[in-house]
Structure 1
């Protein structure tokens, strides 16, 4: 019996030492190391804010709603771009509700941009998985360029050039699709119009 008690005490002390070492390494040293590595990244480590006239107007990483003819519009959002409610709609491809939403969005974009409903790109019709995607396709941006140019008193070619300047290509040349950050593009349009 005394031998069992001795073994139990020895194993408990060894477990306690392992717990303390792992707590120090994983609970203190690792988070501090990650924080120190992130320090040189500056703004990138703080959500990549975009500033206009010294004021933060948004983040490069989060989509936000823009209304009005003078702005490029983002993808639809299942949660009205609420960062605290980031989630998809969970509507499947056979959902009547999703089909109705897509048809409604197609008609609205077709009417506001003056194009055939069949020419409306998919990203103008469907929300991203998070509802916070900051990007649209170059096709959707090009579709909106004439409206934005007219509303801001700019030449259409100038706005198309802004779209091209703010288009990011595929990662490593082959991963993903080219995208346009809506907030960055709208900031550039605002600066060009003033």
Structure 2
């Protein structure tokens, strides 16, 4: 019986140290150094209401917004994942053709960037390539009644190079860009 009690005390002490103690230390460390990312990189509106996260994609389908990459999980952060379909599967081809049509088509002179017709591995990538955002500038400008150059300028200003000189391409956070479009231009009456 004493062995059982000793074992139980060791197990409880181990759980207290390794589960509760370690978690508290890591959480405290993250809150002290990077509170924004430790709390999910949440974005709030002027009223203080959370409207999204810089880390998780959201669906936008109205023409006045820049659209994100397609998602195999319908942008459900609780169920991140890919489609697990082979690249040769006809469903992938059909989905790509549907997305190309939704983006107004593509041609040899104006090829559609691959990230606009292919889902990311988790289906939640909040960024698209600079080329993918610029490809949508004409549609967004027409829907908002502004010059294409104004939309392109806003896209260029929001584009970042995440790896600095070690990264070849620039990317744009879709939610951040769409919030900027609404703030700097007249917010459209239609919702996302």
Measured against the shorter chain, the TM-score band is 0.7 to 0.9
Q: Does 1:127 align with 2:122?
A: no
Moved more, 160-169 or 179-188: 160-169
Contact kept in structure 1, 2:103 and 2:136, CA below 8 Å: no
**Equivalent of residue 107 in structure 2, options 111, 116, 139:** 116
TM-score, structure 2 length as denominator?
0.83
Q: Does 1:22 align with 2:23?
A: no
Cα distance between partner residues in 2 of 1:85 and 1:23: 29
Cα distance between partner residues in 1 of 2:139 and 2:101: 16
| Misfit runs of 4+, over 4 Å | 12-18
Structure 2 residue runs without a partner (length 5+) = 187-192
Contact kept in structure 1, 2:161 and 2:167, CA below 8 Å: no
Higher helix residue share: 1
Please state how far the C-alpha of 1:92 moved relative to its aligned partner: 1.1
Tell me what 2:61 maps to. Answer: 67
Other structure's SS at 2:19 match = helix
Cα distance between partner residues in 2 of 1:102 and 1:66: 17
Cα distance between partner residues in 1 of 2:140 and 2:111: 18
Larger-Rg structure: 1
Question: Size of the alignment, in residue pairs?
Answer: 183
Structure 1 residue runs without a partner (length 5+) = 1-8
**Equivalent of residue 139 in structure 1, options 119, 131, 139:** 131
Tell me what 1:48 maps to. Answer: 41
Cα RMSD, aligned residues only: 2.4
- Are the structure 2 counterparts of residues 176 and 18 from structure 1 closer, same or farther at C-alpha, using a change threshold of 3 Å? farther
